[in-house]
Amino acid sequence: MTGGTDGATDGGSPGAGTPGDPRAARTRAALRQALLDECAERPLEQVGVAALVRRAGVGRATFYLHYADLRALAVDACAAVVREAVDALHAWRGLPDPASPPPALTAFFTGLTPHAALYRTLLRPGGGGPLGESLHRELRERSVTERALAGAPEPELIGSAVAAAFTGVLADWLHGLIDATPEKIAARVWRLLVVLHRAPAR
């Protein structure tokens, strides 16, 4: 793929043009994968646009049609992590068992390892940074919605607590402030969140 094959870009911050354009989607997918591949070899701060577009097979001008800079691309490339985290935390039915985290949650933590350095760049200790802000927002929205639909008390309070706890623990674990294997951190996080959901709010 080259810069000339891209054509229009779609809406939002990664460029402008026709929403849903499959060529634009393919270009962004190539750029995201190229960034992940580059960051598997070196820190984000050492990745250059020239090397990135060569790896992606697109032109430099095409890159800037879609993204303002490499950090904007990095946040987009990590957006899947946010979706996976939200889905993993809600991958259960019935009454949650504190001793048995959903397999999806364990798989989520295990799958972070290959690109942990990139995630650490975007998710600061304590849960700050662009990836942390996105994760907190998505988790809180999902938790509030599900508690409200279930008629559970204090959906806003518990939703905020769940989002803050998970985002903060995830960030601190990625930065080495919590010493645990992916399996152990998944189990500990799960127990913590079950307690939060069951805690009386009044």
For 125-164, the pLDDT digits (tens) are: 999 988 899 899 999 999 999 889 888 899 999 999 999 9
pLDDT of 201 over the 60 cut: no
Secondary structure E strands in 19-116? none
Q: Number of C-alpha atoms within 13 angstroms, CB side, residue 54? A: 6
Residue 187 reports pLDDT greater than 90: yes
For position 36, what pLDDT does the model report? 87
- pLDDT score of 178: 97
Our CA angle for 173, 39, 175, nearest 5°, is 15
CB-based burial of residue 178 (10 Å sphere; 0-12 exposed, 13-18 middle, 19+ buried)?
Answer: middle
For residues 41 and 10, the answer to whether their CB atoms sit within 8 Å is: no
Residue 184 is which amino acid? K
3-state secondary structure of 9: strand
Residue 188's pLDDT is 96
Give me the residue label for tokens 């939060």.
Answer: 196
Q: How far is CA 73 from CA 47, 50, 65, 131, 143, in A?
A: 12, 14, 12, 12, 27
By three-state DSSP, how is residue 153 classified?
coil
pLDDT above 70 coverage of the chain, percent: 87
Strand partners, 9: 17
Question: What tokens appear for 33 in the block?
Answer: 């994968």
Which pLDDT does position 93 carry in this prediction? Answer: 67
- In the predicted model, is pLDDT for residue 92 greater than 80? no
Strand partners, 17: 9
Round to whole Å and give the CA distance between 35 and 71: 10
**pLDDT at residue 18 in the model:** 54
pLDDT of residue 122: 87
Residue 176: pLDDT band with limits 50, 70, 90: very high
Q: Mean pLDDT of all residues in the chain? A: 85
pLDDT score at 202: 59
